[in-house]
Copies of this chain bind each other. A is one copy, B any other.
Amino acid sequence: MAKKVLKFGGTSVGTTERIQLVAKIIKKERSSGNKIIAVVSAMSGKTNELIGLSEKISDDFNRRELDVLLSSGEQVTCALLSGALTKLDIKAKSWLNWQIPIITEGDHANARIINMNIEKINNYLDEEGVAIIPGFQGISKNGDITTIGRGGSDATAVAVAKIFNADSCEIYTDVDGVFSTDPNKIPVAKKIDKISYNEMLELSSLGAKVMQSSAVQTAMIYNVPLEVKSTFTDRKGTKIFSQENIDYTKSVTGVAYSKNDAKITIIGVEDRPGVAANIFEPLSKAQINVDMVIQNISSDQKTTDITFTIKRDDVIKTKKILKNNKKIEYQEIIQNEKVAKVSIVGAGMVSTPGVTYRMFRALSDEKINILAISTSEIKLSVIIDEVNTLKAIKKLHTIFELD
A residues engaging B (CB < 8 A)?
16-17, 19-20, 50, 53-54, 56-58, 60-62, 64-66, 68-69, 71-72, 75-76, 78-80, 82-84, 86-87, 93-94, 96, 98-99, 143, 145
Contact = CB atoms under 8 A, between A and B. Distances in A.
Contact of A86 (B58, B82, B98): B58
B75 A79 contact: no
Contacts of A78: 65, 68
Contacts of A62: 82-83, 86-87
Contacts of A75: 68-69, 71-72, 75
A45 to B, nearest CB: 14
Contacts of A79: 54, 65-66, 68-69, 72
Contacts of A82: 62, 64-65, 68
B68 A86 contact: no
A130 to B, nearest CB: 12
A93 B80 contact: no
A143 B53 CA distance: 30
Contacts of A71: 75
Contact of A65 (B16, B86, B98): B86
B99 A84 contact: no
Given A19-B57, A54-B80, A62-B86, A72 B72 contact: yes
26 contacts: A16-B53, A19-B57, A20-B57, A53-B80, A54-B83, A57-B83, A57-B84, A57-B87, A58-B83, A58-B87, A61-B87, A64-B82, A65-B83, A65-B86, A66-B79, A66-B83, A68-B82, A68-B94, A68-B96, A69-B79, A69-B83, A72-B72, A72-B75, A72-B76, A96-B145, A98-B98
Contacts of A19: 57
Given A65-B86, A94-B68, A98-B98, A76 B50 contact: yes
A16 B83 contact: no
A46 to B, nearest CB: 10
A142 to B, nearest CB: 10
A224 to B, nearest CB: 28
A43 B247 CA distance: 56
Given A53-B80, A57-B87, A71-B75, 16 more contacts: A16-B56, A17-B56, A50-B76, A54-B79, A57-B80, A57-B83, A58-B83, A58-B86, A62-B86, A64-B82, A65-B86, A65-B94, A68-B82, A68-B94, A68-B96, A69-B75
